[in-house]
């Protein structure tokens, strides 16, 4: 009889002090939230009261925040509730658990979303020199990956400040470039913006070892498909190199 393989996974939260929160702590806090009692929660999970308290105290110590609060009095002798942060951790754990389960059930590849920016001043374009692979040491347009929950407009403003030190305002979308082989790390789709500087002082940072304005007529070979992107922009604007 042929045996089928199954994918298993395990995840937990850590802080700079180490382990904070995993499946056991999640189940314990969830049971406390539902039953209002550490002893009842421990009993339902077949663990000792002392062990349950140990899990809670370890998580609180590593996070530096309270996860549960005890309220004394009343006919029931008191109850234990989750703090707002305890509720937050439970919610975060459930969010990631749902995400991992979804990925396991839908293991198809999807392109990543990125942004790039074009900022031209005095007939010179702002470029960064890449600090990391791929294309380490080559010039490229400033930009990067869009974070979850972030708009492309906010992403390009953030990436520009991180990589060049400049604060910018996105003006218009120059184009969308989506060739599957444009990035050796995998399929990426980039939204390219023209930008206007509104502040800051130019300096290389994050993935950039250098940020500088380079005259349009002296452009070097650029990483990824950025040479094509710049050429398309200059042509559409009627700017000659």
44: left (phi over 0), alpha (psi -120 to 50) or beta: alpha
List, in order, residues 6 or more apart from 29 with CB less than 8 Å away. Answer: 56, 67, 68, 82, 86, 89, 90
Instruction: Give the pLDDT of residue 90.
Output: 92
- The fold for domain 112-237 equals Nucleoside Triphosphate Pyrophosphohydrolase (3.90.79)
Residues 71, 73, 76, 81, Cα dihedral to 10°: -10
Instruction: Give the pLDDT of residue 67.
Output: 94
- The fold for domain 13-105 equals Arc Repressor Mutant, subunit A (1.10.10)
Q: Is the peptide bond before 177 cis (omega within 30 degrees of 0)?
A: no
Instruction: Give the pLDDT of residue 53.
Output: 94
**Mean pLDDT of residues grouped by 10 in the chain (241 residues)?**
73 82 92 92 94 92 90 67 93 89 78 96 95 91 94 97 95 97 94 96 85 95 97 91 74
What's the predicted TM-score (pTM) here?
0.60
Instruction: Give the pLDDT of residue 39.
Output: 92
CA angle 6, 11, 15 (to 5 degrees): 170
Instruction: Give the pLDDT of residue 209.
Output: 86
So where are the chain's domains? 13-105, 112-237
Instruction: Give the pLDDT of residue 2.
Output: 64
**DSSP state, residue 173:** E
């Amino acid at each position: 009889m042929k045996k089928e393989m199954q994918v298993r996974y395990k995840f937990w939260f850590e802080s700079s002090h180490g382990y904070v929160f995993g499946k056991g702590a999640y189940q314990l806090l969830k049971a406390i939230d539902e039953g209002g009692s550490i002893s009842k929660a421990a009993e339902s999970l077949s663990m000792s009261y002392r062990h349950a308290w140990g899990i809670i105290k370890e998580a609180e110590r590593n996070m530096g925040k309270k996860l549960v609060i005890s309220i004394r009095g009343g006919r029931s002798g008191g109850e234990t509730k989750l703090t707002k942060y305890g509720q937050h951790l439970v919610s975060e754990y459930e969010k990631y658990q749902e995400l991992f389960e979804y990925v396991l059930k839908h293991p198809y590849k999807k392109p990543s979303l990125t942004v790039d920016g074009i900022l031209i001043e005095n007939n010179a374009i702002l470029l960064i020199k890449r600090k990391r692979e791929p294309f380490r040491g080559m010039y490229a347009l400033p930009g990067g990956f869009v974070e979850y929950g972030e708009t492309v407009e906010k992403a390009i403003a953030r990436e520009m400040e991180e990589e060049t030190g400049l604060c910018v305002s996105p003006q218009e979308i120059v184009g969308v470039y989506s060739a599957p082989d444009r990035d050796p790390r995998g399929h990426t789709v980039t939204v390219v913006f023209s930008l206007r500087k509104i502040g800051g002082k130019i300096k290389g940072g994050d993935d950039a070892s250098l940020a500088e304005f380079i005259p349009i007529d002296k452009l070097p070979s650029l990483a990824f498909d950025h040479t094509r992107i710049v050429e398309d922009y200059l042509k559409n604007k009627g700017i000659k190199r």
